[in-house]
Structure 1
């Protein structure tokens, strides 16, 4: 199973990109996690929304089409989804063929605050449901006090959180198998 993972942060030492790096290490047998690069996706402009999508959007669209499942690691900015992640999703949702439809997905997030991105995850879940993505309900991964659970490079060091991510990836694999079975 190929999982395409999106980090909602472009920061070099992003805690959320660190969650994805941990997911790559913790993926169950038969599961491969690849991180998508959304840094080159331009701001959405409806005037450019025709047959000639920007190259970064077309490249990501092909990766989504080939992916068996999706993984989102989102920070929380002002109680919601970071603009860079929402922008990438907005562009990709306009690619012909409803490329998100039917894909199973898991959502996780890390923040320095006490709620561990719960509000942004719920907003992201609403967006994904509209796109006909099938978000995994449980287990949820809300990483609070991420600055105490990650090193200075954003790499996850907390063993309990690593266990939660491993459980979520196993559940995503099972959810994929259920949906595709």
Structure 2
């Protein structure tokens, strides 16, 4: 059975409690959603040299996300785009 929704957070700073992190945790609590902090899944950048071996952290994240129908991404905005860290995780 599919779970309803999960909130995924990505901060673009090294501050332990960023505004994005605070917003994501509040959304998760208000909606009784599960929460994942993408900072826990720091991996090398995807490239043609690395794409053949999926990092263990990405495999772990994929397994956690499979049961969910919907995902809410909370990321900083940088010139209209998400930060490279979040994009890298999605690319994997």
TM over 0.5: yes
Partner residue of 1:158? none
Q: Which has the higher helix share?
A: 1
With a CA cutoff of 8 Å and minimum separation of 6, indicate the structure with the bigger relative contact order: 2
Out of 6, 9, 12, the residue aligned to residue 7 of structure 1 is 9
Q: Distance in 2 between matches of 1:41 and 1:4?
A: 21
Q: Which runs of 5+ in 2 are unaligned?
A: none
Q: How big is each residue's C-alpha offset from its partner over 1:25-46, in whole Å with a ceiling of 9 and x where there is no partner?
A: 201xxx4322243442221122
Cα distance in 2, alignment partners of residues 78 and 10 from structure 1: 13
Please, which of 41, 44, 59 is the counterpart of residue 43 of structure 2? 41
Alignment RMSD (CA, Å)? 1.9
1:71-150 aligned at under 5 Å gives the runs 71-91=72-92
2:67 alignment partner in structure 1: 66
Q: Is the 8 A contact 2:12 2:76 kept in 1?
A: no
The SS at the match of 2:81 is coil
Q: Distance in 2 between matches of 1:24 and 1:67?
A: 14
Say whether 1:26 aligns with 2:30.
yes
Name structure 1 gaps, 5 residues minimum. 92-181
TM-score (norm 2): 0.77
TM-score (norm 1): 0.43
Name which one, 1 or 2, has greater alpha-carbon Rg.
1
Q: Is this contact kept in 2: 1:76–1:82, CA < 8 A? A: yes
Pairs aligned (count): 87
Q: Deviations over 1:114-172 (max 9, x none)?
A: xxxxxxxxxxxxxxxxxxxxxxxxxxxxxxxxxxxxxxxxxxxxxxxxxxxxxxxxxxx
